[in-house]
Amino acid sequence: MEKLARKQVQQLTPYLSARRIGGTGDIWLNANESPYSNEYSPALNELNRYPECQPEELITAYASYAGVSADQVIATRGADEGIELLIRAYCEPGEDAILYCPPTYGMYAISAETIGVERKTVPLTDDWQLDLAAIRQSLDSVKVIFVCSPNNPTGNLVDQQDIKTLLEMTQNKAIVVIDEAYIDFSPESSVSELIRSYPNLAILRTLSKAFALAGLRCGFTLANQEIIGVLMKVIAPYPIPKPVAEIASEALSEAGRARTKRQVLDLNANKAYLQAGLSILDGVTVFDGWGNFLLVKFPAGDAVFKAAWNEGIILRNSPVEDCIRISVGSREECERTLSFLRSYLES
Ligand SMILES: *Cc1c(COP(=O)(O)O)cnc(C)c1O
């Protein structure tokens, strides 16, 4: 039956997520998941009825958290669905293109490929910022531009003035999508307030990282009302299951937000601990990171990755040479990882 599939689809290789790569271990620091497993007990009644397409309580709660108005929010099945909706809504397959700046998150390319939309890449500069001159030269037929900040896997923030320049350069031509999946770890660096000034700005958010709800599959796109209206045309009729809306609303309640804030503080402290411990090791460079992960350069990254893997410490190798991405786990996970790496490198 494979031959019956669209040609594009026959040629696809599925996204190699951390989950699909597998491995056996007791320390999982490869998917930027939260180490906190918070408990919820959603009401499970009235499941005979379809849910609201955009559960009002959830939308209001996220708008309040993000400091935007309710008509500037659409809830999706994870931020990943937001990526797909933006491409499907704005790019004509076979005609239009998306543009992104590697090294960065893999799903922009995968979604475009699945939909049959051309991908253009303009690599980040040596200090992982936007190469605005090269982007300007590559804008032909580009309808959606993805910029990830804090960037996965490098961890750095993208300069806000550059984001404004990009928004101006593309006004009336392309949507600029700022992927803020990790912004809850550095909330002061969000560009959400630019939504008021730039009609071509969209921002991706998720409950998967700081809110410790990767298993829930709940994300949001923030943008002006007009973009939200366009996305509403292509979203599925019932994307958010009732129990998902209930749990997400609880996570976004005052108490839920306070708990997330405490957990973010703890994880940022663990990140500082890991960074301090790793950076004093010979030949190791730790790049400053604004999310819940660090990109770390070793003398021989692949060997370190495999040695950790064999020890049951599952990290993520990265496209950046000799670099490994390490998610910030519990203090104990950070201690065990650090102590393994220290003894491995000193042996
Ligand atoms: C994890 C991640 C996402 C996807 O988040 P989900 O809400 O779990 O789909 C999007 N963008 C980046 C950069 C991520 O790292």
Q: Output the domain CATH number for residue 23.
A: 3.90.1150.10
Same domain, 239 and 265: no
> How confident is the model over 165-194, as a mean pLDDT?
98
Work out the average pLDDT over 161-184. 98
The atom number, within ligand 1, closest to the CA of 152 reads: 13
Residues 150 and 246 placed together within one structural domain of the fold: yes
Claim to verify: residue 240 and residue 261 sit in the same structural domain: no
| 213 & 95 share domain | yes
State which residues form the domain around 324: 2-35+256-346
Percentage of the chain beyond pLDDT 70 is 98
Residue 248 and residue 261 share a domain: no
Question: Tens digits of per-residue pLDDT, 180-223?
Answer: 999 999 999 999 999 999 999 999 999 999 999 999 999 999 99
User: Closest by alpha carbon to 220, among 71, 114, 99, 39?
Assistant: 71
pLDDT at residue 16 is higher than 80:
no
Q: Is the bond leading into 299 cis (omega within 30 degrees of zero)? A: no
* pLDDT tens digits for range 279-311: 999 999 999 999 999 999 999 999 999 999 999
Spatial separation of the C-alpha atoms in residues 21 and 181, rounded to whole Å: 22
Per-residue pLDDT reduced to its tens digit, 249-278: 999 999 999 999 999 999 999 999 999 999
Ligand 1 site-directed mutation target among 80, 101, 149, 177, most atoms within 8 Å of CB: 80
Percent with pLDDT over 90 in the chain: 92
Does the C-beta of 78 come closer than 6 Å to ligand 1?
A: yes
Report the alpha-carbon distance of residue 130 to residue 12 in Å, rounded.
Answer: 28
How far apart are the C-alpha atoms of 81 and 179, rounded to whole Å?
Answer: 12
C-alpha distances in Å from residue 339, one per residue of 177, 202, 207, 268, 313: 39, 41, 31, 19, 11
User: How many Å apart are CA 93 and CA 111, to the nearest integer?
Assistant: 12
Binding site membership of 180 for ligand 1 (Cβ less than 6 Å): no
Q: 204: closest CA among 74, 53, 63, 67?
A: 74
Nearest Cα residue to 119 out of 12, 224, 219, 206: 12
CA 310, CA 305: separation in Å to the nearest integer? 9
Q: Is residue 321 part of a domain?
A: yes
Same domain, 154 and 15: no
d(CA 153, CA 27): 19
C-beta of 79 in contact with ligand 1 (< 6 A)? yes
What are the backbone dihedrals phi and psi of residue 326, each rounded to the nearest 5 degrees, phi first? -115, 120
pLDDT, mean of residues 82-100: 98
Judge if the beta carbon of residue 224 lies within 6 A of ligand 1: no
Q: What is the pLDDT of residue 304?
A: 97
Which among 37, 10, 75 is positioned nearest to 249, based on CA atoms? 75
Q: Tell me which of 231, 253, 275 is where a domain ends.
A: 253
User: pLDDT at residue 9 above 80?
Assistant: yes
pLDDT beyond 70 at 18: no
Ligand 1 pocket, residue 206 CB under 6 Å: yes
Calculate mean pLDDT across residues 72-93: 98
- How many domains is the chain built from? 2
Q: Are residues 264 and 314 in the same domain?
A: yes
Asked if residue 44 belongs to a domain, the reply is no
Give the pLDDT of residue 19: 66
Looking at every residue in the chain, the average pLDDT score rounds to 96
Question: Based on the domain organization, do 159 and 99 belong to the same domain?
Answer: yes
Question: Does the pLDDT of residue 316 top 80, yes or no?
Answer: yes
Whether residues 60 and 130 fall in one domain: yes
- Average of pLDDT values for 314-338? 97
Residue 45 falls inside a structural domain: no
Distances (CA, A) of 328 to 47, 129, 259, 290, 340: 37, 23, 17, 11, 15
Least Cα distance to 74 among 56, 90, 47 occurs for 56
Q: Has residue 46 been placed in a domain? A: no
Identify whether residues 130 and 274 lie together within a single domain.
no
Query: What letter would DSSP give residue 133?
Result: H
Tell me, what's the pLDDT at 25?
A: 79
Ligand 1 atom nearest to 291, measured from its CA: 15
Domain boundary among 198, 226, 253: 253
For the whole model, what pTM was predicted? 0.96
**Residue 260: its pLDDT value, please?**
98
Same domain, 110 and 227: yes
179 found inside a domain: yes
Please identify, among 220, 253, 286, the residue that sits at the C-terminal boundary of a domain: 253
Q: How far apart are CA 321 and CA 310, in angstroms?
A: 21
Chain centroid to Cα 254, Å, comes to 24
Q: Is residue 105 in contact with ligand 1, taking CB distance under 6 Å?
A: yes
- Residue 234 in any domain: the answer is yes
Confidence class for position 22, pLDDT limits 50, 70, 90 = low
Question: Is residue 152 in some structural domain?
Answer: yes
DSSP class of residue 121 equals: E
Task: Tell me: do 204 and 309 sit in the same domain.
Answer: no
In a domain, 49, yes or no: no
Residue-level pLDDT at 2: 87
Task: Return the structure tokens found at 308.
Answer: 């950790």
In this prediction, residue 112 carries a pLDDT of 97
Q: What is the CATH number of the domain that holds 208?
A: 3.40.640.10
